[in-house]
Amino acid sequence: MPGVLVDVDTNADLAAALDGIGPRLQRVRTSRGLTLAEVAELAGTSASTVSRLESGLRRPSLELLFPLARVYGMSLDDLVGAPEFGDPRVQLRPRRRNGRIVIPLSRNPGGVQAWKIVMPLETGPGERRTHDGSEWIYVLSGRIRLIVGNRDLVLGPGEVADFDTRTPHWFGATGDGPAEILSLFDRTGARVHLPEAGDAA
């Protein structure tokens, strides 16, 4: 029977993470100024259970950790300090806004922000918005209606729009079904420039 290969470093990382959960839970609780009794009441458990988790006398389980993550307003991975195990992939966290699924593709709050937006079919234009910045959108699939100022356009797959967001604007899926776009937003108002064929590298 072939042997099983064990990644010693991975097991060591996992053991270290498990050993560190108790002290981490205690730091999170005290940083929020909560007592054991307060956390226990909010999490629907007993103060002794929370105390034993923090001291390492009680083995952490999903059944115990999920309510604590909810109480502290943290993801489970952040609460326990889960190791990444060298995974280079960006962990995307989709959000739902006004019926649309918004997926952040970058972590750059002070600069250009990249998003993938999945939009359901909409019956008509919504409220036009204005704010500082500029936006560049690329249609991945479906068709979108874009209103910028007095311009009312329909864009299909592969088409691009670039506009000043200080101008009243709105866009949404139109036609036969939902649409997907890539959006680049720069709060400073700098316009996106894509090199043309033949431009110097």
pLDDT (tens digit per residue) in 148-161: 999 999 999 999 99
Give the separation between CA 32 and CA 69, rounded to whole angstroms.
Answer: 13
Residue 56's pLDDT band (boundaries 50, 70, 90)?
A: confident
What is residue 5's predicted lDDT score, i.e. its pLDDT?
Answer: 43
Q: Percentage of the chain with pLDDT > 70?
A: 76
What is residue 201's predicted lDDT score, i.e. its pLDDT?
Answer: 40
- In the predicted structure, residue 103 carries a pLDDT above the cut 50: yes
State which fold the 95-186 domain adopts.
Jelly Rolls (2.60.120)
What does the pLDDT look like over 59-102, one tens digit per residue? 888 888 888 888 888 777 777 766 555 555 556 678 888 888 88
- In the predicted structure, residue 2 carries a pLDDT above the cut 50: no
What is residue 156's predicted lDDT score, i.e. its pLDDT?
Answer: 94
Give the separation between CA 33 and CA 71, rounded to whole angstroms.
Answer: 13
Cα torsion 156, 161, 165, 166: sign = negative
* Neighbour tally for 84: CB within 10 Å: 10
Residue 167's pLDDT band (boundaries 50, 70, 90)?
A: very high
Question: CATH top-level class for 8-80?
Answer: mainly alpha
Element (H, E) at 43: helix 36-43
pTM: 0.52
In sequence order, which residues have a C-beta less than 8 Å from that of residue 113 and are 6 or more positions away?
A: 104, 106, 184, 185, 186, 187
Q: Where are the domains of the chain?
A: 8-80, 95-186
**DSSP reduced 3-state for 88:** coil
What is residue 78's predicted lDDT score, i.e. its pLDDT?
Answer: 75
